[in-house]
A and B are shown apart, each in its own frame.
Chain A
Amino acid sequence: MAKVQLCNITVMDNPSPFSNPFQFEITFECIEELKEDLEWKMIYVGSAESEEYDQVLDSVFVGPIPEGKHMFMFQADPPNVSRIPENDAIGVTVVLLTCLYKGQEFIRVGYFINNEYSDPEMRENPPSPPQFDKVIRNILASEPRVTRFKINWEDPTPAAEQPITNLNENSNSISTMECV
């Protein structure tokens, strides 16, 4: 069983202007002391069409983690707009929070984001190129999509290493989510 359980994520500063940093308050519980740090990553999906446009906004180590409940705030700068395809800049996309232990991803949380112009006029006739300073980012906080992966939490020993069979199944569910 996973040694770390996610208890809650609160999306802070939401909705907010596009250029504000992302802020997530993440609460998790650990059933026994972890020998190594957790690694959290925030990934902005630039375009649903291709992973090529995924931007890792930030990656942080979190530790040390004794047994118990913990909380931290994960803040990252907004995506680099020059790397977002123009057609995908406005509308619905996804931000992913993923957590790794010993380099193995064990949980992934996806949030839908709606990027919209605050001005109704601009909503009707979106300017080209997009004017990101007038865009409001709204994260659909009430519906996180949580995917869990089975990983090896112990020290790797040759006998214990088994192929992760669930991975394909689970990654399918992610890809369907991104196609929305």
Chain B
Amino acid sequence: MILLKPAWVKHEDNKPIFSVDIHPKGGRFATGGQGGQGGRIVIWNIAPILSYSDENDPNIPKQLCQMDNHLACVNVVRWSCQGHLLASGGDDKLVMIWKLTGEGSSTLFGSGGKVNVETWKCTHTLNSHNGDILDLAWAPHDGWLASASVDNTVIIWNTHKFPEKVAVLKGHSGMVKGVTWDPVGKYIASQSDDKSLRVWRTADWQQQEVVTDAFVDCSATTHVLRLSWSPDGQYLVSAHAMNGGGPTAQIIERDGWKQDKDFVGHRKAVTCVRFNSNILKKVTPGSPKPQQYCCCAVGSRDKSVSVWLTSLKRPLVVIKDLFDDSVLDISWSSNGQHLLACSWDGSVACIIFTTDAIGNPLSECEKDSLYERMYGKSMQRNLLNSSFVGSHIIEYPEMLSEQDAINDISMKQMNEINVEIPKITIPTINLESPKQNGLLVASNKQIETRLPSGKRRITPMFLKPVPTTPVKETVEVPTIQAASTFSSSSPTKSKIVVVQEKVKQTNIIPSHSSLIPSVRPQTFQPPGVQINQLTCSEVPGDQPIVQFINVLDPLKMPLGQTITKKNDFMKLQVTNGGLTTPKGKLARIEVFKHPDDKQPIWETYLGSVIKCIQYNRRLIVACCEDLSINTYEIKCGARPLPPLLIEDVASALCLSDSGICMVLTKTGLLHMWNIDLGKSILNRISLRSLLSNKASVSGCSLTTTDLPLVTLSDGRAFIYNLDLQTWVLISNPQDTLSKVSGSIARSVGGNLPLASLQRQMSAHNLNDNLPSGVKLSFLESQISASVLLQSASEFRHWLLITVTHLLEKGPECRIRSILDELMGPTHSSSKKPRTDNILGISKKKLLNEVLALIKSKLHWQRLYKEYNEQLNLLNL
């Protein structure tokens, strides 16, 4: 046995190190604790600890990465079992998930030129806890992550879909200070200051057992209570327990949760227990069969660490006064021979065992057969699949194959993860030019605009990382240029060219030339935002509505200026005051066949000033100051309709490709015409009732199905439903229901119709305390809004999410109604006409998707069976 205390493993000023964890593939280890100002995580190279020559080789880096992102002390760091992710939790109530990126080395800003040899990036921040996080544990299959917090709860996170929660374990009435998984995957155990240890089932996340006897006399004197489960699953060992007035680590047997043994000997409370992840074997003299046992390390506030073998009655070794203060965490390497412990005194100790002392680990194969002998085959399945629901019986052979398929998939996913595991490689460090390391300056032009307030607004340059070259396997000798040449000062002036751009005020016209690709509808851009978007501001006053509407600024086309709009084939040019006659000025519209043509194919004149103009590939619509709306065919200039008169100045004008023209007047009345048919669709529909003194119109447009869509500045959105002849609310972020559940809406890509309207939705996480009906209500409203917007992909998305939610929380009648709806009337006598599609998606396809979801949940197998049979009958 070798005992080492590497002096270089420390956080700033010997600040406490609360947690240590060795990477499952070896090579690295992580420490967490306090840093310069907040929390600090450091990833270290383990080679310099284990090898004296590596320690003294200046080319071998010791520190690989330092992350100061936690705002307060980091209490725990844990690698996933596959080693592809690192989780950390701290006093800032956050759990962060870290991943290695291929960016290579980078300098660390504000830490005196320290270099990160590797770049670990935070990929997820989980912020649902209301208190400090004290312990974390990855489930054996890596599909779940458990976090224990001062808020008395344990949260189980779905690691495939952060930040989704699988469960919140409530039951402790004091701070939860430790959490550990059953290696077989059936249970999870937690220990708390409330003098109890609780075991929970992973099948339904309910409490299986509460152990209190051994903790009655315990007082809350430890920072953490990291308990541990033996790798064979037979024993659970608690942190701080009391027996006969002395501190112990209580052994709790899986079989009947018996508590008749404990580890005795520490003089002060036990803070942490950690089992070696291997089941070990040793040939003992006088017995033909090697003995199998587990090995456990115990750390205590008495500054000492003891190591126990379950085959021995006395500890294998006790190391007294290993530290100057309490031990806080212990970690074993996966080969079982190295142990790291960390302490409040800010140091880390390493113990290296020989196989003679500790024994030989069982091979994976031997371990598997041991598990099978102990727990049967079904448990192994459990191990592999996080969605497998405990001890359900599979009733139909079809479901069995389905479950097997699911297991196959999860196996495959795990293998894929395997590929991603970072290899310990030491990339070449080049300190001389930090900018060339992983970065490329996109351009050296900086665009600046001046805001109306007089302040500058800088558009930053986007830096593209260089294509990340795959990290090479070969351990190259890294070249550390010893003298830190990193300097954040330069004697030269900045080479960045500042391009000043004038802010486009209301007279946007001078630079107004936009492309109208008339042949390619998919790239059709609505002409200038100024035309179909309203610029509204809040106006104080006694009559908010009337005043507000008056500020809807009609677009101004200044006299004497020419606007040119180019497209692939046509050019439209509108000039107010384009012709001066002795009697007054005329506005001119000219259309050119080619952008470069000098001679227009047609031109027309209007006696009034043109206020705004809209066009599609066939038509031009011009609103004039004299309140007339003039329509022209783009080909020849003929007027499909006579000038239409509206009662007030237009503040928004929309024209869809199908020839629907919509005008919103300053007074808040909406007109809509079908120009091709020459018919009115909507006449003087008021949207005043939608407005309030706080909300003004922020946008007015036509949906793809030619329905008027109005968005307000407070985030609400309405559609006028022509069949119902009323305004329909699509999205309301002000609504309390949306406030509590709006975060779900974030999962949808922002450019889909409904999602783009719901950008303002609250991003806060759904509060779990709310009844499941709240989420359901929100989901139902999302479905109906998707239908209104005729957004097929979003309809499908929300329908499937709703089904998933219903499968978990019910009620069943709603699942049935969805299934019935998709199945369609099965009897010809039904009154409703039969349709095969919803929003253009085949009902049958949707039904199959929904059934696939149900299939994966074993406890719904009867429902699945029932509908699957119906569907098969229909298909016959």
Interface residues of A (CB under 8 A from B): 1-2, 5-15, 23, 25, 27-28, 31, 37, 58-66, 68-75, 109, 139, 141-148, 150, 154-155, 157, 159-160, 166, 170, 173
Contacts and interface: CB of A to CB of B under 8 A. Distances in A.
Contacts of A13: 490-494
B37 A37 contact: no
A7 to B, nearest CB: 6
B488 A144 contact: yes
A70 B461 contact: yes
Which of under 10, 10 to 19, 20 to 34, or 35 or more describes the interface residues of B?
35 or more
Interface string B825-851: 000000000000000000000000000
Given A150-B92, A154-B763, A155-B760, 17 more contacts: A1-B96, A2-B71, A8-B107, A10-B490, A13-B490, A13-B491, A13-B492, A25-B496, A59-B455, A60-B458, A61-B457, A68-B462, A70-B463, A150-B71, A155-B764, A157-B764, A160-B764
Interface centre among B122, B434, B446, B456 (most CB of A within 10 A): B456
Contact of A146 (B109, B122, B457, B763): B109
Contacts of A2: 69, 71
A114 to B, nearest CB: 13
A11 B490 contact: yes
Interface centre among B69, B110, B446 (most CB of A within 10 A): B110
Contact of B462 (A62, A66, A73): A66
Interface in B420-477: 434, 439, 441, 446, 451, 455-463, 465
Contacts of A155: 760, 762-764
Interface of B: 37-38, 69-72, 92, 94, 96, 106-107, 109-110, 112-113, 122, 125, 434, 439, 441, 446, 451, 455-463, 465, 487-494, 496, 498, 739, 760, 762-764
A74 to B, nearest CB: 8
Contacts of A1: 69-71, 92, 94, 96, 122, 125
A10 to B, nearest CB: 5
A70 B463 CA distance: 5
B113 A142 contact: yes
A24 to B, nearest CB: 8
A15 B739 CA distance: 52
B487 to A, nearest CB: 6
Nearest to A69: B463
Given A109-B110, A147-B37, A148-B37, A63 B459 contact: yes
B215 to A, nearest CB: 31
Nearest to B112: A143
A63 B457 contact: yes
A27 B463 CA distance: 9
Contacts of A166: 71-72
A12 B493 contact: yes
Contact of A70 (B122, B462, B491): B462
Nearest to B72: A166
Contacts of A70: 460-463
B494 A61 contact: no
A122 to B, nearest CB: 22
Contacts of B122: 1, 31
Interface centre among B459, B487, B739 (most CB of A within 10 A): B459
A166 to B, nearest CB: 7
Contact of B488 (A37, A141, A157): A141
Contacts of A31: 122
Contact of A142 (B125, B488, B491): B488
A144 B109 contact: yes
A148 B92 CA distance: 13
B463 A75 contact: no
Contacts of B493: 12-13, 23
B463 A72 contact: no
Contacts of B110: 6, 109, 144-146
Nearest to A140: B489
Interface centre among B122, B441, B458, B461 (most CB of A within 10 A): B458
B762 A157 contact: yes
Nearest to A14: B489
Nearest to B441: A71
A145 B51 CA distance: 36
A144 B113 CA distance: 10
A148 B109 contact: no
Contacts of B72: 166
17 contacts: A1-B122, A6-B109, A12-B492, A60-B457, A60-B458, A63-B457, A63-B459, A70-B461, A70-B462, A71-B460, A71-B463, A139-B489, A144-B488, A150-B92, A155-B764, A160-B764, A166-B72
A164 to B, nearest CB: 10
B428 to A, nearest CB: 20
Nearest to A20: B493
A71 B461 contact: yes
Contacts of B458: 60-62, 72, 74
A70 to B, nearest CB: 4
Given A1-B122, A8-B434, A60-B455, A72 B763 contact: no
A20 B590 CA distance: 53
A61 B490 contact: no
A31 B97 CA distance: 13
A7 B72 CA distance: 20
A142 B489 contact: yes
B490 A37 contact: no
A142 B110 CA distance: 8
A175 to B, nearest CB: 14
A158 B69 CA distance: 26
Contacts of B37: 146-148, 170, 173
Given A69-B439, A72-B461, A25 B69 contact: no
A75 B498 contact: yes
A25 B488 CA distance: 9
A145 B110 CA distance: 6
